[in-house]
Structure 1
Amino acid sequence: MITDISVNKPAPMVVGKRLGMFNAASDVKRTIKDLEAGKPVLITAFYSNGLLLLKELHLYLSKKIPNESFQEQRDYRAQYHKLSNLILIEIVANKLIVKKAPSIGWLEKLYPDTANFLLTFPQVQGLNSAWQWFKNGITIPVLRNKVHPYYGTYFPTRFDHLILLDNWLKRYEGTKKSAIDVGVGSGVLSFLMIKHGFQKVFATDTNPNAIIGLKEFMGETKLSRKLELNFGNLFGAWHKPSELIVFNPPWLPESSDIENLDEAIYYNETLFPAFFEAAKKRLLPNGKLLVVFSNLAQITGVTKEHPVEKELANGGRFKLEKCLKKSVKSASDKTKREQHWRAAEEVELWVLINI
């Protein structure tokens, strides 16, 4: 059942001790030293003062930490995350009390009974961006309609892998009675399968916000009768075998030197073995298992091991029908990160058959 899950949201803070204050007249260098010493700082006067401090923090870290290799970028982001989340901002009656702050609908939606509390400035930025995406919707090239991702829910910002899957589904000639989407996120893969004629899609996610958001988005529409949701790990409550299983897992193995790992980006060592074992039981004979992946971890030197290749070599559960690949578009000129490896990056659609 979906009714018993609670939304995942930033925990409101109440700080008992006196906080350091930051505004446009504050000493930036001293403030950053305070952050490095673990002392929280409260943004006062104008919202733009928070943006100013974050900008200065970026400048400081760029001089201190190289930001060129893939690993260096990881280190940079980890340090930025640690320090920036000591920068706080106050909310009263669902509004930011600093001047010229954005109006963020999530504050009322997620904290209806919380009157006066603090959040970190990056959390507020995230809530603001998420509200704009939710309110205005996101255009996905392979879908007819926009998606409206709920707060804290993964949605694609790159589309090469979706184009691969869309093209495969156009040519798919098997039965379309049911399919399973493992890790539904904002629903893009499920909507794609429904667009291509699947009568019923069973979808799961370990993120309650994904389930809550899709349930709210679909309401009582016809779409809600075609997409059935379950809050659970891997296949959750779905045990009945299907003719098609689709899995778009994280593309990078987790690393012990990164705090607050994002499960939409990083996978642990048990994910793929557990997935393939469970998928074998839920795929009809000669059913198709689609794994959407990338060579990103290999070309950036994070690992030499490819989890799908490893399963095919050692698992004895599936055989390879085909692996479709598509080169990734070059990074935007606007990106500040060094992404020279993008020229060698390929997204992959692995089509496996149950044996």
Structure 2
Amino acid sequence: MSETHWIHWIDADAEHTARWRSETGMPLPRRVVPADGRLSAATAHRLACEGTALLWQGDFQQARQMLRAMGRRIDRKPPARVAPARKAPAPASSPTAAFHLHRRAAGHRARVLAKLLVPLREDHTLGLRRAPDVRAACDEAYGPPQGGPWAVPLRELLGVIGAHQWRTKGVDIPAIGARIHPHYGVFSPVRGEYVDLVAQAPLPAAAHGSTAFDLGTGTGVLAAVLAHRGVRHVVATDSNPRAVECAADNMNRLGLTPRVKIATGGGLYPPGRAALVVCNPPWLPAKPNSALEQGVYDPDGAMLHGFLTGLADHLLPGGEGWLIMSDLAEHLGLRSPGELRSAITAAGLHVLDRLDTRPRHRRATDPTDPLHAARAAEITSLWRLRIAR
């Protein structure tokens, strides 16, 4: 955190302070009051909606129960309407309107639940009864203990704990016969269909024994797949420092450090040319609400267009660019049909082939999901691109 903010509250006629921490960028609470198991969920929900933060001082398990109870109350009464937009609003029944309403409801939910805070001591221990040992999880997410004490949203801390469990356990990747270990703040490769596309697509002849670029590598999973398939040298890039550290850790675990270089700094592309350039940009052209959403939302499709417009200058003769994209944005009305093909043509590229697959994640078959119709129709594709002659 580049700047330290403080929260203040009164307890037993004495003023107390703590540093404020929110990895998702939640604003500093205007007012903080102590709370414990004597507080009702109705009162907690009302205070949080009014902007008052509740610093929990009781039992940790009771705090989790309170968070769930507040969440149920929010879900029973979602925001009334989508905020006014610059353009004329889409019909209420349109997929685009449903997407924006869903995003607004999710943002409202996150802001209200972020008002339930828990105290972290200087050494990253939780100052609550029956609290788990969260020191390792906090060290991974926040770095070594410094300063303190801290006040953090319980919902975010539970995300930190969950990320530590994923990092410890790892995600099984059948394409490499090993596990990838995501770090906190790095998009986890739990949607295996896009990994399978990269594992199955025919390698261009120029790529055998040559160099490949993996743009926006994240955990490094696609770089590992390319190395596993016999690509001699892979250069992986990412603008997220957490991703750079995560990818380097995974390459070391897999024994691929001699063959996979994790480039730091610079732009989307590393210097030079490659026989194969792989890019799996965020699939939805919308603004992320936090740094943790940058693996899903790409404002105005900036990374997608950066990949397309730069590809011709970074391919070796006979090389290919592989673009992994979902068409969910088209089903949601966030990108018009044919817009992607037009962008490919405008970049001086042509489509050599397209490999398609259906999503296998749980929400694709969940009829209660507010975006179910779009998710059920979604197709994930690997576009094989070459320079147009």
Q: TM-score by structure 1 length? A: 0.87
Question: Would you say the 8 A contact 1:13–1:118 is kept in 2?
Answer: no
Shift of 1:192: 0.3
Please say which of residues 262-271 and 306-315 is displaced more in the overlay: 306-315
Distance in 1 separating the partners of 2:74 and 2:43: 14
Counting only pairs closer than 5 Å after superposition, residues 103-114 of structure 1 correspond to structure 2 as 103-104=133-134, 105-109=136-140, 110-114=143-147
Q: Which runs of 4+ in 1 moved over 4 A?
A: 9-13, 219-222, 332-336
Choose the corresponding residue for 1:278, options 310, 324, 327: 310
Choose the corresponding residue for 2:102, options 56, 59, 73: 73
Question: Would you say the 8 A contact 2:356–2:380 is kept in 1?
Answer: yes
Q: Any idea what the Cα deviations from partners look like across 1:250-291, whole Å, max 9, x if unmatched?
A: 111115xx6336221111223333322222211112310000
Choose the corresponding residue for 1:304, options 308, 326, 336: 336
Counting only pairs closer than 5 Å after superposition, residues 215-254 of structure 1 correspond to structure 2 as 215-219=248-252, 222-232=255-265, 234-236=267-269, 238-254=270-286
Q: Alpha carbons of 1:160 and 1:108: their partners in 2 closer, same or farther (altered >3 Å)? A: closer
How many corresponding residue pairs? 342
Q: Alpha carbons of 1:196 and 1:123: their partners in 2 closer, same or farther (altered >3 Å)? A: same
Unaligned runs of 5+ in 1: 1-8
Q: TM-score by structure 2 length? A: 0.80
- 2:49 is aligned with what amino acid? E
Distance in 2 separating the partners of 1:94 and 1:66: 35
Distance in 2 separating the partners of 1:334 and 1:116: 42
- 2:52 is aligned with what amino acid? K
- 1:24 is aligned with what amino acid? G
* Residue 3 (structure 1) aligns with: none
Unaligned runs of 5+ in 2: 11-31, 81-94
Q: Alpha carbons of 1:123 and 1:335: their partners in 2 closer, same or farther (altered >3 Å)? A: farther
Shift of 1:38: 1.3
Q: Any idea what the Cα deviations from partners look like across 1:182-241, whole Å, max 9, x if unmatched?
A: 0010011000000000111101111101112233344497411111112336435x2110
Q: How large is the Cα RMSD of the aligned pairs?
A: 2.6
Question: Would you say the 8 A contact 2:239–2:268 is kept in 1?
Answer: no
Shift of 1:248: 0.2
Structure 2 residue 58 is the aligned partner of structure 1 residue 45? yes
Distance in 2 separating the partners of 1:300 and 1:234: 30
Q: Alpha carbons of 1:61 and 1:220: their partners in 2 closer, same or farther (altered >3 Å)? A: closer
Question: Would you say the 8 A contact 1:61–1:76 is kept in 2?
Answer: no
Distance in 2 separating the partners of 1:150 and 1:194: 21
Q: Alpha carbons of 1:305 and 1:49: their partners in 2 closer, same or farther (altered >3 Å)? A: farther
Distance in 2 separating the partners of 1:216 and 1:30: 45
* Residue 97 (structure 1) aligns with: 127
Counting only pairs closer than 5 Å after superposition, residues 112-261 of structure 1 correspond to structure 2 as 112-169=145-202, 172-176=204-208, 177-219=210-252, 222-232=255-265, 234-236=267-269, 238-255=270-287, 259-260=289-290
Q: Alpha carbons of 1:218 and 1:158: their partners in 2 closer, same or farther (altered >3 Å)? A: closer
1:40 alignment partner, SS class? strand
Distance in 2 separating the partners of 1:241 and 1:232: 17
Distance in 2 separating the partners of 1:302 and 1:220: 39
2:166 alignment partner, SS class? helix
- 1:56 is aligned with what amino acid? A
Distance in 2 separating the partners of 1:232 and 1:250: 20
Distance in 1 separating the partners of 2:181 and 2:192: 16
Q: Percent identity?
A: 20
Question: Would you say the 8 A contact 1:326–1:346 is kept in 2?
Answer: yes
* Residue 17 (structure 1) aligns with: 9
Question: Would you say the 8 A contact 1:13–1:119 is kept in 2?
Answer: no
Question: Would you say the 8 A contact 1:296–1:345 is kept in 2?
Answer: yes
Q: Alpha carbons of 1:278 and 1:313: their partners in 2 closer, same or farther (altered >3 Å)? A: closer
Question: Would you say the 8 A contact 1:12–1:117 is kept in 2?
Answer: no
Shift of 1:249: 0.5
